[in-house]
Chains A and B, each alone.
Chain A
């Protein structure tokens, strides 16, 4: 028996909106730790890892570890039917072939339940070791989204370089080139407007902008994004999910031909 009650149901809507274009089907794993997911995009270039810790739910009952295979676009369709302020409860029996999403309006005057068929998904799970990164950039998530969107109108790839000068996002295309430099800046009115660059070593990596733009669908989840870089490793683009967890996107770099 699984029963997870999330008062901030809107968070789950935002999580699904940030996943559904990248991944078609995925297993949601429920354990005492929390509600999690790891999935790759269909071309196995990017990976997403979601964790919503059990403490973040108002009620979290998970009698035994369960893996719920769901089509994310169908799940997103169902969650779209919840109000942004609704309380969302996810329910499933141990041997269930469906999952129930229950939506309660904040003043309890409307209660809806949606039942979605589960599916068997044979997915590969990857072990991701904790890594020390050469550079970690924290910046406003909207700024990062803007940069990815702007650069993708000019080129297909972005070179992200971190030096003492700051973090530079560069692209080139048929019509020309573009470089955007963001400097370390903590003298801002609000902490979420800060850009914090921690650098052990300079690093420069090339990534496909198509994936970066897909990751930025998570922008409504968090004011800040963390971009962790090391030479010859996938970049990690992380958005916090309130105080209860995170969504991390891993993207393999491109190499020179």
Chain B
């Protein structure tokens, strides 16, 4: 149920 978001959408790469 629902669309799984990706963790990389939330935090920027360092």
**A83 interface residue (CB < 8 Å to B):** no
Contact of B10 among A206, A208, A234, A255 (CB under 8 A): A234
Q: A125-B14, A126-B14 are in contact. Are A40 and B3 (CB under 8 A)?
A: no
B14 engages A44 (CB within 8 Å): no
- How many contacting A-B pairs (Cβ < 8 A)? 61
Q: Would you give the 0/1 interface string for B2-14, flagging 1 where the beta carbon is closer than 8 Å to chain A?
A: 1111111111111
Please report the C-alpha to C-alpha distance between residue A47 and residue B3 in the assembled complex, in whole angstroms. Answer: 18
Please report the C-alpha to C-alpha distance between residue A171 and residue B8 in the assembled complex, in whole angstroms. Answer: 26
Q: For chain B, which range describes its interface: under 10, 10 to 19, 20 to 34, or 35 or more residues? A: 10 to 19
The closest CB in chain A to the CB of B3 belongs to: A255
Note all chain A residues with C-beta closer than 8 A to B11.
47, 126-129
Q: Would you give the 0/1 interface string for A138-160, flagging 1 where the beta carbon is closer than 8 Å to chain B?
A: 00000000000000000111000
Interface residues of A (CB under 8 A from B): 40, 44-47, 124-129, 155-157, 172, 206, 208, 233-234, 250-257
Interface residues of B (CB under 8 A from A): 1-14
